A and B are shown apart, each in its own frame.
Chain A
Amino acid sequence: MRRRLVALLGLVLGLAAGLPTVVGAAPSAALTTVLVVSPQGPFTTLAAAVQAAREGDTVEVRGGVYRGSLTVAKTVRLEGVGWPVLDGGGQGTVVTLAAPDIVFRGFEVRGSGSEPHLDHAGITVTAPRVVVEGNRLRDVLFGIFVAQAESAVIRGNTVTSKDEYDLGRKGDGLRLWYSPRVLIEGNTVSATRDVVIWYSSDVTLRDNLVQDGRYGVHLMYCDRVTIERNRLVNNSVGIYTMYSSGTWVRENVIRGQRGPSGYALGFKDADNVEVTHNALVDNRVGVFLDGTPFTPQSYSRFEANVLAFNDVGVILQPAVHNNTFAGNAFWENVEQVGVQGGGQLERNQWQGNYWSDYTGFDANEDGRGDTPYHAERTFEHLTDREPRLRALLYSPTVQAIEFAAAAFPIVRPQPKLTDATPLVQPPDVAAFVQPTPGGERLGLVGAGLVALGLLAGGLAVWRRTSPGQEGHATMLNCLPRDTAAAVAVRGRGITKTYGETQALTDVSFEVRHGEAVALWGANGAGKTTLIKALLGLIETDGVIEVEGQPVGQAGKAVRACIGYVPQETAFYDLTVDGTLAFYGRLKKVGAARRGDLLARLGLSEHRRKPVAALSGGLKQRLALALALLANPPILLLDEPTASLDVAGRRDYLALLAELRREGKTLLFASHRLDEVETLADRVLILDEGEVMAEVTPAELRRQLTSPVTLSEWLTPALDFEVE
């Protein structure tokens, strides 16, 4: 009772408020009235205002939120001012426009129900000639549903669906059902399922933006449909037409359709198709044709379109025929034209298109190539047969296959199509195609990368100079386990086998501090193997200790006690200074120590020379300098004078003798008696990996120079005996 009184009061006040705003006479001479709805009144509900309105009146809604669903069953104009909100509260359809010629404009509509089988929508139109214009729809399952209502105008609306559902569960942004002669213009439909037009002929879609949905536009059983100047972006499929005749698609931009099929344009069993001046860019497939044109007397024409950067420009079913492709630009599609399942397309017309992979020429400069364009890429042929091979796209193997096919035409497939008059220049692109934004400080990034490269390369010469490193030596010192021990090197039962070769057999020996011991033996006796074992470079059986430290466990510490001079010097491609600096850094030896050694070993004047330019003697001196860098107590030399001439050997031995006098322990391999006599206290005689004897140098000389009698019959005057 109280509600009725309020409604009556509202009606009276509304009429009172409306009287001063009576607008001019209607054509029928009847006055139209403006009924105002706002939270402050005079009407506070739309239902009341609509109920109060007469046919032809205007209901102006000024802001506010109005809950519940609204059904308008009389011809009125509903005008929102300041975006009034109609909130369905999650129940059913929010607004139903059920009378002819209703105009519904300027509202925010939200909160429909969520039942797809009940077509819960933001706005449902069920009467002819309704205009739905400039509304915002959000959080609605379906957007605008035109059901069996002809000649509607759906213009300038913004539609989004319910965020919580995935695409398949959302409703359609726009849906036409048995609704002919509808104009859909200037709408923005985002993240809804489809724009569906079924059983509705003579429909026009113009200047709409459909994005992030499933089907940008889905036509079924619709004849004479015009689709022009729309933008379809990032949908699963762009425009898909089925069982329709008369589809005119022109000046649309269709970009980024990348669903499972990803067609920018798809036609199934469609007749009389005209597709002109569209830009089909960066889709999985530019155009897909299946059974189109469907009837023999119909046509299908694709002219002056740009098909660019798609995975496949055009895909046709093998049986498709009677299509004409003329004046299109096929630009950098990964595959320009594909045949699903393989085959040729000779029953379609390909004339005067631009192909970015055309390699012919235009000698007569008529703008047409003088040799035909053939689509005959071998890998495409393979992917047409087995689409999963697309996984190998962008691999060099693909180029290798094409190269092989070019070299051996016998393996080249039959061309899928031939364009006898290809364009040599691409046609101009229509101005409506917006360029891709680009150029984000790439120069800065390039400069940064160059700087990074220079920095990384510069690390090769970067040195952290510190007093400890360069000024004063803090050498990597030998750390004897027992400083009072008399033995510098001890070996017990050293055995080494390479495969079936016994390199060392049960070798045992000791070298005391300050002693010089020679390893004597022929080539292959095992001297070098023993030296490698002492350095911890090979694993052996038995025990080896250097300064009381086991070589096997403390190889690095052991090597800090040993200065090693190899038989054959092997240096990096550096100068004398550079070589000393490199090994000096490994041993943490400063510049002063390096300078001293250079001077002592007579290398100062050669310090800037590349090592490769040094004589053999100087290289051997450098090796000794390197061995002495960290002033180790033990020197291990492997035939140190083997590569020196007589004078060089004499000088080198003098150096070693001096070092011995200074207290260095020397263990060296040799097979030169003079060397042994000059340096050694004792000699270990090795033969086939075994220690055969331990002798003094004098004993060695005696063994080597024991009397030998040579007898020879000579002339009587020269007859003599040699001892």
Chain B
Amino acid sequence: MPHRTLEWSSLWTIAQRELGEALRNKWLWFYAVAFGGLALALSQAGVASAGYAGLGGFGRTAASLINALLLFVPLMGLSVGAGALAADRERGTLLYLLAQPVSRAEVFWGKALGAALAVLTALALGFGLAGLGLAPTAAGNVAPFLGLAAYSLLLAFVSLGLGFILSALTKRAATASGAALLLWLGLVFAGDLGLIGTALTLRPTPAVLLTLLLANPLQVFKLAAIYSLRATLDTLGAVGQYATYRFADQLPLVLLALLLAWIVVSFGLAALLFQRRAL
């Protein structure tokens, strides 16, 4: 029987090991517990406010939840991704693994699948615990909650892919982690600050601002998350209204497609780099 380049059994074996190792990583559980607790606390605060007025809505509590997601999820994805290849390379296990009858593609995609499952585990448990915590109060709608969870998962995969790119480019785990932190800062803060400066000085049109926003996967997630909670982006002012006008009913599909594109491109680029890079 010929040896295929991508064999599921080898890929899955590597994925399982990667998943097992990721689940033994205390940082992953820290992210899961911290995020779940935060989501629960913020949601409870939202419930408390809804209980006051019986009015529910999209105020600062929901904004805080999106804020927390924008901070935690990329950090989790980037750090898990950045360590996936670089740490193995540094301790020599990657070389030894590649000396076995496996292809580089099996190693890469196995590691990617394992890391993705680890992130899925953490997020599902975090959101699940938040949902269970909210259940007794019987407040909040299911669809937006699930939408937020699904988009968070996509954002986690995007950041995981970006982390894999860094991991493929670096030899040492510490270097990869540092680069991941820098990228996180760039995505979370630097990009937005640049956007603020641009808006105040150049006063670009809403179309240009929207384009700049959509270049940042975190902002794409934000737009998608707000849309899933509100079914409109008009809360974001002229840019949100322009997005709704420009894409109409296709808007959620556009945002979903962008996130998926980020996932495909980031993992694809990481795979290419890993394939070509010398050990």
Chain A residues near B (Cβ < 8 Å): 258, 260, 262, 279, 281-282, 284, 306, 308-309, 311, 329, 331-334, 356-357, 382-383, 385-400, 426, 429, 433-436, 438-454, 456-457, 459-462, 476, 479, 498, 532, 535, 537-538, 554-557, 559-560, 562, 564, 566, 568, 570-574, 582-583, 585-588, 630
Contact = CB atoms under 8 A, between A and B. Distances in A.
Contact of B124 (A311, A383, A456): A456
Nearest to B47: A438
Interface in B53-93: 53-61, 63, 66-67, 70-71, 91-93
Interface string B122-140: 1111111111111111111
A435 B51 CA distance: 8
Interface string B192-211: 11011001100100100110
Interface of B: 1-3, 5, 9-10, 13-14, 16-17, 19-21, 23-24, 49-50, 52-61, 63, 66-67, 70-71, 91-93, 95-96, 98-103, 117-118, 120-142, 145-146, 149, 188-189, 192-193, 195-196, 199-200, 203, 206, 209-210, 213, 218-219, 222, 226, 232, 234-241, 278-279
Nearest to A562: B99
B61 A332 contact: yes
- Top 6 closest A-B pairs, CB basis? A446-B131, A309-B57, A443-B135, A332-B59, A439-B138, A435-B54
14 contacts: A258-B232, A306-B53, A308-B55, A389-B196, A390-B239, A394-B222, A395-B222, A396-B71, A433-B55, A443-B134, A449-B149, A454-B121, A564-B100, A585-B13
A334 B189 CA distance: 20
Contacts of B128: 446-453
Given A433-B53, A436-B54, A334 B63 contact: yes
A133 to B, nearest CB: 32
A588 B10 CA distance: 9
Q: Which of B5, B54, B70, B226 has the most CB of A within 10 A?
A: B54
Given A392-B196, A438-B138, A440-B141, A449 B131 contact: yes
Given A442-B145, A555-B103, A586-B13, A308 B59 contact: yes
Contact of A450 (B2, B10, B95, B124): B124
B51 to A, nearest CB: 9
Given A395-B192, A396-B71, A538-B278, A311 B60 contact: no
Given A281-B57, A586-B10, A452 B124 contact: yes
A582 B17 contact: yes
A284 to B, nearest CB: 6
A329 B53 CA distance: 10
B59 A392 contact: no
A433 B93 contact: no
Contacts of B219: 395
Given A438-B139, A498-B278, 13 more contacts: A332-B49, A334-B235, A356-B59, A395-B188, A399-B67, A445-B145, A453-B124, A462-B16, A538-B278, A566-B99, A571-B96, A587-B100, A588-B9
B237 A630 contact: no
Contacts of B189: 396-397, 400
Contacts of A396: 67, 70-71, 188-189, 192
B50 A453 contact: no
B249 to A, nearest CB: 15
A397 B118 CA distance: 28
B138 A559 contact: no
A398 B64 CA distance: 11
A93 to B, nearest CB: 34
Nearest to A391: B239
A391 B140 contact: no
B13 to A, nearest CB: 4
A438 B53 CA distance: 13
Given A448-B128, A560-B3, A457 B19 contact: yes
B55 A435 contact: yes
A564 B149 contact: no
Contact of A630 (B13, B101, B135, B142): B101
A380 to B, nearest CB: 12
Given A449-B125, A557-B101, A443 B132 contact: yes
A436 B125 contact: no
A616 to B, nearest CB: 15
A385 B189 CA distance: 21
Contact of B121 (A392, A440, A457): A457
Nearest to B90: A570
Nearest to B219: A395
A442 B143 CA distance: 9
B28 to A, nearest CB: 10
Given A456-B117, A535-B99, A585-B13, A388 B125 contact: no
B118 to A, nearest CB: 8
Contacts, number: 298
A479 B4 CA distance: 13
Contacts of B67: 394-396, 398-399
B50 A538 contact: no
Given A396-B70, A559-B99, A388 B199 contact: yes
B192 A392 contact: yes
A429 B213 CA distance: 39
A260 B241 contact: yes
Contacts of A568: 92
Contacts of B49: 308, 331-332, 356
A442 B21 contact: no
B235 A446 contact: no
B103 to A, nearest CB: 5
A451 B137 CA distance: 21
Nearest to A258: B234
Given A443-B132, A443-B135, A450-B125, A388 B238 contact: yes
A445 B140 CA distance: 11
B196 A446 contact: no
A685 B184 CA distance: 51
Contact of A438 (B50, B118, B195): B50
A620 to B, nearest CB: 13
A439 B125 contact: no
A334 B14 CA distance: 47
A164 B236 CA distance: 30
A394 B55 contact: no
Contacts of B142: 440-442, 445
Given A331-B59, A435-B54, A439-B138, A572 B102 contact: no
Contacts of B122: 453
A44 B34 CA distance: 76
A476 B101 contact: yes
B279 A537 contact: yes
B145 A433 contact: no
A573 B21 contact: yes
Contacts of A582: 13, 17
A388 B209 contact: yes
Contact of B236 (A393, A442, A460): A393
Contacts of B138: 438-439, 442
Contacts of A560: 3, 101
B2 A557 contact: yes
A572 B54 contact: no
A449 B13 contact: no
Contacts of B133: 446
Nearest to B276: A539
Given A438-B139, A447-B128, A586 B102 contact: yes
B102 A429 contact: no
Q: Which of B49, B124, B140 has the most CB of A within 10 A?
A: B124
A383 B146 CA distance: 31
A540 to B, nearest CB: 11
Contact of A311 (B96, B145, B235): B235
A468 to B, nearest CB: 11
B196 A436 contact: no
Nearest to B208: A388
B121 A456 contact: yes
A388 B24 contact: no
A174 B61 CA distance: 39
